[in-house]
Structure 1
């Protein structure tokens, strides 16, 4: 559980806690071995990457990627314990270049005396490129074994050079069973059960939202209450402020949730689409950003299968601008429902991309002369406009002439499916195809 039992930044091995003074429940329940860590079995199990490394005695530098409260700090501290390395913890938020030099000098001195150093860097993505590069020589010569922790996608936030020297391990948010085990441990430590009904206990787990540290903090609050009868969910919510959902409008969660919304619409699931829309709005996302992305979905995934879809999105966008929040957000929700249930087609999108690709390959070829205007006599002498067939004068209003550059094989970019309004467009396309073949054969 990253940061699950984090006692704060430190630049030396953790002191042994004493029993004097109040110790938070999360600190009292800090695991003393990796076997006591709740969750993360995919990483810590015998066949997991850390389990295999420890069994083989070959621990490499690591980057833990995961949300808050899932064990990043705790696991790093226990890895140092398991491998007899001196544990040093710093935070990229509070550490500058002079501090890093001191850390590296101390690690170099320890190494000369036969003691290795596991350097745990919390929020490692906060270091800039030059600071991240500063770790490389000390990782390569064995001065430190680096364990970084980040809540952001390492692919975007960390240097390629650093990532090439460290293995990225993904730590998952704790599930309901994991959080339930934490409650059980807390009750054993406290020597009493929480004054909650089973339904309220389940609500408490939901409030923690996958964060173990938040779970234990909530348990500590509930355990301090003096009540005669177990509390139900409503009484629990009244007494506790619901924890805000983890959401960073410029971070990884932002891109994950908009991807989930887009794919739910594409997958014709209005309920899932509404859920992800609500998640983003509850997290504080700008509704104007959502209006823009929803309109993009209409263009990219529905297109001409339902030409009305784009208009619905634009109207919802304008409605939000006129009504504001929260009433205007209902218009966005209704547009999402419409898109999810609309017929889907990316034929226009695919055709556009294919035409751009073709244009890049044949970008210097001029149009055929018969479709060029000839406003001057010189241009007429050059053959501009010769042989142009005026379609309105042709049989069926269709001449069937070639409009691509001379010598270019006729491509077929647009292939509408048999769905929605594009079913009619396909009939028209096939009709003109037959006429074109007839004209060319005449």
Structure 2
């Protein structure tokens, strides 16, 4: 087997953890696939995993989903369900030496017993491109069945070659019902109910943001504190740390939310737009990034349907730079609400794209000589500026002259819509077109 890895230090061997110190989330790991909560679309009889297990044969796969949704549990249970040897590493703690050892052990197991290995790689996106390529020969030859887990979009985080050999399965955030079921399991395991009122229980579930592991960690904190009487939502908020939203400014959370914000603005839903703006600011997004995107929206999706939209966004930038956070964020919210509620038109955006394409296609066609300046005698002698029609001298300040290059027919790039201020612009263009026809008759 080719050696595709550079030398690296082996990961340290973890120490054994006393049984009494094992976290609640670890103790409550499901013992069978049908005990996995919230991923029935995969593990059920008609799901991709359910069908593979029923057939007794697994293909390599990438489990993509948020933290605390069962990726590790599913991988472990898959091996047991089809009788495969199970091996696991984490890209966070494992180095090249660990990978080499894993592959050598898998080859040995296959040669001695004919038993294939399910290799679970947690946080697989943290391996670099060369290391990811190193999996390929072992997967292709059947030495291992690869099950990778990632919280990042595989399209960007993983090699195309690796993706072509693995099925991407998407795990969902746990629903409130699934999280409630998980809490019930915790209470059954502990033998006592959580010290919470029903509203506080609902608040605890909401704070988990779909992450089962986080929820069980919070439940364990409550149990360890031995609280004498049930807490209400206010008391719970004071007792437990507040969960920080899952958001990486250079990864999926960033791109998903800015896409949602832009499309909410384009769809004229100021309530949703304000929500996504708040999500991003609360999670620590750079306010100047958001302001730049709002300026873009003002030009791309509104344009001349409401020329004030661009001014509102630029004024919000000035206000934010003047006030700073958090006071300046109100100006950003104001600009967001303005662009979301403004009449929409992408006529300027489309017109610009068409004009740019036409300019590229037509090369260096010269404008008509009569509209060119003639600062020298030679330029005057060859006709530059000759017979130029000064529009202010014409009736209605409109000469109707041709401004297009010779050999190029007049084009229509900008087509204003019957919305907002562009309705007025459309009337002007139609008026000028009538005048142009009259001048040519």
Unaligned runs of 5+ in 2: 1-9
State which drifts further: 224-233 or 37-46: 224-233
- Residues 402-442 of structure 1: CA deviation (Å, up to 9, x unaligned): 222222232211111111111111111111111122222x2
For 2:35, the equivalent position in structure 1 comes to: 36
Secondary structure at the aligned position of 2:284 is classed as coil
Aligned-pair CA distance for 1:198: 1.1
For 1:270, the equivalent position in structure 2 comes to: 270
Structure 1 position 110 matched with structure 2 position 109: yes
Corresponding residue number in structure 1 for 2:126 = 126
Specify the alignment match of 2:7 in structure 1.
none
Measure, in 2, the Cα distance between the counterparts of 1:57 and 1:228: 50
**Hey, what does 1:335 align to over in structure 2?**
335
Superposed counterparts of 1:254-269, under 5 Å: 254-269=254-269
Q: Following superposition of structure 1 onto structure 2, how do residues 66-85 of structure 1 map, counting pairs within 5 Å?
A: 66-85=65-84
RMSD: 2.1
Superposed displacement of residue 228, structure 1: 4.2
Report how far residue 173 of structure 1 moved: 0.7
SS in 1 for 2:237: helix
Aligned residue for 2:244? 244
Residues 309 and 338, structure 1, Cα contact 8 Å, conserved in 2: yes
Measured against aligned partners, the alpha-carbon deviations of 1:348-390 in whole angstroms (never above 9, x if no partner) come to 1111111111111112322222222233333334333334322
Provide Cα deviations, 1:58-79, integer angstroms capped at 9, x if missing partner. Answer: 3211111111111111111111
Query: Residue 302 of structure 1: CA displacement?
Result: 1.3
- 1:341-420 to structure 2, matched below 5 A, reads 341-420=341-420
Whole-Å Cα distance in 1 between the matches of residues 427 and 245 of structure 2?
A: 49
Q: Hey, what's the Cα distance between the residues in 2 that align with 1:65 and 1:194?
A: 31
Query: Is residue 10–residue 90 contact of structure 1 (8 Å, CA) maintained in 2?
Result: no
The alpha carbon displacement at 1:275 in A equals 1.1
1:306 matched to which residue of 2? 306
Q: TM-score, normalised by structure 2?
A: 0.93
Q: Number of residues paired by the alignment?
A: 431
What is the CA-CA distance between 1:55 and the residue it aligns to?
Answer: 2.3
Deviation track 1:73-119 (CA, whole Å, cap 9, x = no partner) reads 11111111112111111111222222222211111111112121111
Measure the CA separation in 1 of the matches of 2:353 and 2:48: 41
Secondary structure at 1:404 match in 2: coil
Deviation at 1:18, TM superposition (A): 10
In the alignment, the residues of structure 1 paired with residue 341 and residue 334 of structure 2 have an alpha-carbon distance, to the nearest angstrom, of: 11
In structure 1, what is the equivalent of residue 6 of structure 2?
none
- Provide the rounded CA distance (Å) in 2 between the counterparts of 1:340 and 1:305: 13
Residue matched to 2:165: 165
Say whether residues 1:89 and 2:77 are aligned partners. Answer: no
Segments of structure 1 that go 5 or more residues without pairing to the other structure are: 1-8
TM-score with structure 1 setting the length = 0.93
In structure 2, C-alpha distance between the alignment counterparts of 1:19 and 1:248, rounded to whole Å: 34
Tell me the secondary structure at the aligned position of residue 20 of structure 2: coil
Q: Distance in 2 between matches of 1:238 and 1:210?
A: 21
2 CA distance for matches of 1:342 and 1:419?
10
CA contact (8 A) 2:320 2:328 kept: yes
Q: How does 1:149-160 map to 2 (within 5 A)?
A: 149-160=149-160
Contact 2:11-2:98 at 8 Å conserved across structures: no
